[in-house]
Amino acid sequence: MSTLYLNYLFNPSSVAVIGASDRPQSVGAVVMRNLLAGGLAGPIMPVNPKRRAVAAVLTYPDVKALPVTPELAVICTPAAAVPGIIADLGERGTRAAIVLSAGLDSRGDGSSATYQDLMLSAARQHRVRILGPNCIGLMNPSIGLNAGFAHAMAAPGKVAFV
């Protein structure tokens, strides 16, 4: 893997939050609050087909409707939606995604392929690098990126938590 792909993950110029929400304790709401409070310079684009705005930011119904291709996507949706979202992001040209969603190790229709298998297949096909699933997200305090659901931003410094 080229370090270029890591740059999209750790130093994105734009971020989409798929599954952004206004429900106060939901992962999608916490991620939106964290990203907006962090001070990231680029656009933060919430995606939720059921909302017109989340955290006072215009919301887009799906990945295809985004005005720019996000360098990083943070996915906070039910497991069943994740493989299709990764495919849509890959078709748009997004190269990195953080999958906060849990439950990708199962499959509801009795198939032997899990949602994680399907997600990884879509990621390989479109060359999308994934952090997750079922993770707490990622922070890069030096650029104001808090793309996770921790309730406080880490201080800039020389220590990393992996």
pLDDT digit string, tens, across residues 59-108: 999 999 999 999 999 999 999 999 999 999 999 999 999 999 999 998 86
159 is a domain residue: no
What's the whole-number mean pLDDT along residues 109-119? 87
Structural domain including 63 reads 3-148
Phi/psi at 5 (5° precision) = -65, -35
153 part of a folded domain:
no
Mean pLDDT of 124-136: 96
Q: Is residue 154 a part of any domain in this protein?
A: no
- Residue 160, domain member (yes or no): no
Token digits of residue 46:
């919430």
pLDDT at 162: 62
The domain total for the chain is: 1
pTM of the model: 0.94
Residue 157 lies in a domain: no
Cα(149)–Cα(34) distance, integer angstroms: 7
> Within a domain: residue 134?
yes
Is residue 24 included in any domain, yes or no?
yes
- Give residue 152's pLDDT band: very low, low, confident or very high (50, 70, 90): confident
CA dist 118 to 15, 124, 127, 146, Å? Answer: 23, 10, 14, 27
My answer on whether omega of the bond before 46 falls inside 30° of 0, hence cis, is no
**pLDDT single digits (tens) 2-13:** 677 789 999 999
List Cα–Cα distances, 150 to 12, 26, 45, 75, 86, in angstroms: 19, 12, 20, 15, 23
Please indicate, yes or no, if residue 156 is contained in any of the structural domains: no
CATH of the domain at 140: 3.40.50.720
Q: Which residues contact 79 (CB under 8 A, 6 or more apart)?
A: 101, 102, 103, 104, 106, 115, 133
